[in-house]
Amino acid sequence: MTLLKKLNKLAILLTILAAAGCNDAPVAESTKATETPNDVLVPSVISYNIVNQYPHDPAAFTEGLEYKDGFLYEGTGQYGVSEIRKVELATGKVVLSNKMDKRFFGEGITILNDKIYQLTYREGKGFIYNLATLKQESGFPFHTQEGWGMTNNGTHLIFCDGGSSLYFKDPATATIVKQLSVTDERGPVMQINELEMIKGYIYANQWQADVILKIDTTTGKVVARADLSSIRQQAGIPQSSGRDGAPEVLNGIAYDAAQNRIFITGKNWPKLFEITLDN
């Protein structure tokens, strides 16, 4: 057999072995990598800066916070003292309020179509108020055992119940049209609390954690996270002591879309902050 024939035969043999999957070429490893499903998304870190500080009523057990046309609107909790308030930003002065019946524990609020929507804690009932007068006009049911935070996307009310789910509710029919599970790199995120829609994302407090989560409204994934635990030290607000009326957890996010301003506070905090979130 000539050398040329031997080389041709060797080439044919190598081709057959390759087709049978007998080589360890790097292509095999590349194929495996592309088959890995659902890559874990690790939230990016959001830095923050304090722009301004304003007075805040330390007696306000803040459950919901909104900003509209130069005023803050605040929903406070606790049985017997829950109310809806209209508050001057610069002074913290309450200019209008509506106290709830002592049977109800007020929770998250949101403003949609010049109405204020408010959840209650364990009563399974929400209320609708006239924005101009704060007078209660009607109510609505919700199916979860508890009500916590609430926001809206211009069409639907979006609320949470202390678990890891966000519920999208049609305000006209009171039906749930969508349920979204919130997850991060560790899995479901529990105790989602006060909510605010900012530039297409939901920003959320997490109960018992001085953080703000940035949530993708399509996937439910936490795409970024801001650690605001140091804001207490910067502002001289002590950690929760467990005493009634003492400063508790960070809770309350309001957005001024016209001027791109974010306001935050906490339950029984003596201050409210205008901050930037750089993400």
**Does 7 fall in a domain?**
no
d(CA 223, CA 100): 37
* Pairing of β 201-206 and β 209-216: antiparallel
Whole-angstrom Cα Rg for the chain: 26
Range of the domain at 128: 57-278
CA 161 – CA 24 distance, rounded (Å): 53
In this structure, how many other beta carbons lie within 10 angstroms of the beta carbon of residue 275? 20
Q: Please give the structure tokens belonging to residue 44.
A: 């990016």
Q: Is residue 239 part of a domain?
A: yes
Residue pair 99/78 in contact (Cβ under 8 Å)? The answer is no
Taking only the tens of pLDDT, the chain with its 279 residues reads 443 344 444 444 444 344 444 333 333 333 233 333 456 789 999 999 999 999 999 999 999 999 999 999 999 999 999 999 999 999 999 999 999 999 999 999 999 999 999 999 999 999 999 999 999 999 998 889 999 999 999 999 999 999 999 999 999 888 899 999 999 999 999 999 999 999 999 999 999 888 999 999 999 999 999 999 888 877 778 776 566 766 778 999 999 999 999 999 999 999 999 999 986
Listing DSSP states for 234-249 in one string gives HHTPPPP-S-TTS--S
User: Which phi and psi angles does 48 have, rounded to 5°?
Assistant: -140, 160
Q: What is the distance between the alpha carbons of residues 183 and 190, in angstroms, rounded to a whole number?
A: 9
Distance between CA 235 and CA 183 in Å, rounded?
31
Predicted pLDDT of residue 80: 96
CA atoms within 13 A on the CB side of 91: 6
Residue 265: inside a domain: yes
**Quick one: tokens of 141?**
């049911």
Query: Strand order in 47-55's β-sheet?
Result: 47-55, 271-278, 261-266, 250-256
Is position 270 within any domain? yes
Report yes or no on 52 lying in a domain. Answer: no
Q: What is the DSSP secondary structure assignment for residue 221, as one 8-state letter?
A: B
φ and ψ at residue 149, rounded to 5 degrees: -100, 165
Is 111 within 8 Å of 104 (Cβ atoms)?
A: no
Angle value at C-alpha 14, between 11 and 19, nearest 5 degrees: 125
> Could you tell me how far CA 161 lies from the centroid of its own chain?
12
* Number of domains the chain is built from: 1
3-state secondary structure of 29: helix
Alpha helix locations (H) across the chain? 3-19, 26-34, 231-235
**CATH number of the domain encompassing residue 135:** 2.130.10.10
Domain annotation covers residue 129: yes
Given this model, what pLDDT does residue 2 score? 42
Please indicate, yes or no, if residue 17 is contained in any of the structural domains.
no
pLDDT in the model for residue 215: 97
Helix and strand numbers (H, E) in the chain are 3, 23
- Alpha-carbon gap, residue 244 to 79, rounded angstroms: 13
User: Residue 54 — φ and ψ, nearest 5°?
Assistant: -130, 155
| Residue 240 contacts residue 249 (beta carbons within 8 Å) | yes
In a domain, 6, yes or no: no
Q: Residue 237's pLDDT is what? A: 80
